[in-house]
Amino acid sequence: MIYIWRRSKMAYERILQRIAFIENQLKLLENWAPENREDFLGDLKLQAAIERNMQNIIEAIIQICTQLVKYFNLGPPTSEDSILELLEQKLDNYNLIKEFKKFRNFLVHQYLKVDSKKVYNYLEHFHEDVVLIIKEFRKIIS
């Protein structure tokens, strides 16, 4: 039983670390936010920075999900998909996190043909969606 407690405590601490990371990344994203679509589409450096930032945030969300599986002792996941499946009944924002994962995969695997208009559309609601997920994570571990 002590082993499970330690593992849960470690998972708890890692979740808090990743939440802090996400919050810092969100501040960067706020500072970089373009005034409008044209400013975003016309600035390749800004596009690259924002895409990478969004990717980092989503990665951290997925890592938190991995830690939640450990925190709840739900068994060993075999893939990112199985991590989310194990948490489906515990996450109110399950579908949003799945959508984020798909978007992250789009950014990572379609890098030769990333549609900047799609990235901008995600950016418009990304901050509030991430804040919603963070609130849920904090609630789960409190």
- What domains, with CATH codes, occur in the chain? 2-141 (1.20.120.580)
Confidence band (pLDDT; 50, 70, 90) for 10? confident
The answer for residues whose C-beta is within 8 angstroms of residue 35's C-beta and 6 or more apart is none
pLDDT of residue 126: 96
Report the distance separating Cα 73 and Cα 133, nearest Å. Answer: 21
Q: What is the pTM of this model?
A: 0.91
State the residue for tokens 């996400």.
22
Q: Which amino acid is at 83?
A: I
pLDDT higher than 70, residue 7: no
